[in-house]
Amino acid sequence: MSLIYKTGTSVLRRLPAETAHVTTVRLLRAGLGPKDGIIDRPELRTHVGGLYLPNPVGLAAGFDKNAEVPDAMLGAGFGFVECGTVTPRPQAGNPKPRLFRLPEHEAVINRMGFNNEGLDAFARRLRARHGRPGLVGANLGANKDSKDRVADYVEGLSRLWGLCDYFTINVSSPNTPGLRKLQGADEMDELLERLAQARAKLSASGPNYPLFLKVAPDLDVADVPRVVEQVRTYAFDAIIVSNTTIDRPDSIGSRWADEAGGLSGQPLFEKSTRLLSHFYDATEGRIDLIGVGGIGSGEQAYAKIRAGAKAVQLYSALVFHGPQLVREICDDLSARLKADGFASVADAVGAD
């Protein structure tokens, strides 16, 4: 089966990047995806933001923007799947081409611009899968032309409440002009306060759901303690570190230096892991962290955990390695934990 997936991944890479992605989602919807099922092992089980995860390897937002195939991706072995980014109203996103592979660097540049079908379609699909096993989260964003972007996040939270297992507030995409300004001190105060108020009302007569904040890798290290304090003040449950970067490291060469969009994949690994370490120091272990950025192996997933992450997420590496990568990472993590004398993921968190 691994050979079939590797062959399929090779064929898809011959298509233009966005065409390959659309084709992949269609194949998954047709039932042609992995059938391994969620990987659940005692040593890999972990808790993040109050959620129990059968393993710490999650699918990052961006792959399944419209909640079309969360169960197919859980079938690849992921411990949790994050759908989105979804905005209240449908939007087409930025002009094409807007997705670029950098195969020699195992990297991707995208400037998609929150293209999605909107909350109506997203909610309908989540409602249809209600009761199925597996953790599925919703990554919330704001429409590009919104006059009140904070209200967009509140609307997303309200409309999807009860339909998924957690919510990620995405203020860190570089592809919606001005969105990252919501990471500023005053702007973030307003955003988190209004979301906390909405959450209190929504949970008053029923279950509560975790809220995660997703930050940019380009965040100034000096701002990390302030963000941590705001997350603590408004009782958010975890921080995802991090989104794509607008930096263009010398390692990717001059060809891509001026290509607009967010860079993900291997060139992001070191930068995002350094920022993760700063967040772990600032939180003193009191706020759960999810490590994202450049994970393409068990070794790199383990490095994120040792830097302070209780769980990790990946997406870009699937473009180059296919869905069997999830099992390979889990196998490697199990071996590394055992070799280092750790009985579980929790024992390794922040070891470095």
Share of the chain above pLDDT 90, in %: 94
Contact residues for 124 (Cβ-Cβ < 8 A; gap 6+): none
pLDDT digit string, tens, across residues 63-97: 999 999 999 999 999 999 999 999 999 999 999 99
Q: What is the mean pLDDT of residues 238-243?
A: 98
CA gap 323, 81 in Å, rounded: 13
Q: Which domain holds residue 59?
A: 2-348
Least confident of 11-20, 118-127, 241-250, 328-337: 11-20
| CA nearest neighbour of 213 among 205, 222, 202, 199 | 199
Token pair 């967040």 in the structure block, residue: 279
SS (H, E, C) 127-155: HHCCCCCCEEEEEECCCCCCCCHHHHHHH
**Residue 313 zone, left/alpha/beta (φ > 0; ψ -120 to 50; rest):** beta
Active-site annotation holder among 10, 158, 172, 173: 173
Cβ–Cβ under 8 Å, residues 230 and 193: no
172 is catalytic: no
Q: State the pTM of this model.
A: 0.97
Q: What is the mean pLDDT of residues 141-149?
A: 98
In this predicted structure, the answer to whether residue 4 has a pLDDT above a threshold of 80 is: no
Mean pLDDT computed over every residue of the chain: 96
> How many domains is the chain partitioned into structurally?
1
Residue 127 identity: R
Q: What is the mean pLDDT of residues 47-66?
A: 98
Write down the pLDDT at residue 3: 47
Q: What is the mean pLDDT of residues 255-275?
A: 97
Token pair 């001005």 in the structure block, residue: 178
CA gap 262, 268 in Å, rounded: 10
Within 10 Å of residue 84's Cβ, how many Cβ atoms?
26
Least confident of 29-38, 54-63, 194-203, 231-240: 29-38
DSSP assignment of 284-298, as one string? TTSSEEEEESS--SH
Write down the pLDDT at residue 35: 87
Q: What is the mean pLDDT of residues 252-269?
A: 96
Q: What is the mean pLDDT of residues 255-272?
A: 97
| CA nearest neighbour of 79 among 345, 276, 351 | 345
CA gap 285, 202 in Å, rounded: 28
Contact residues for 304 (Cβ-Cβ < 8 A; gap 6+): 273, 276, 291, 295, 312
Q: Please indicate whether residue 8 or residue 311 has the higher confidence score (pLDDT).
A: 311
Give the CA distances from residue 135 to residues 52, 131, 214, 245, 334, in Å, rounded to whole numbers and listed in that order. 9, 11, 18, 27, 21
Cβ–Cβ under 8 Å, residues 35 and 324: no
Write down the pLDDT at residue 294: 98
pLDDT confidence tier of residue 2, bands split at 50, 70 and 90: low
Write down the pLDDT at residue 7: 55
Quote the Cα angle for 170-327-116, to 5°. Answer: 30
End-to-end CA distance of the chain: 36
For residue 132, give the CATH number of its domain.
Answer: 3.20.20.70
| CA nearest neighbour of 314 among 43, 98, 106 | 106
Q: What is the mean pLDDT of residues 308-321?
A: 98
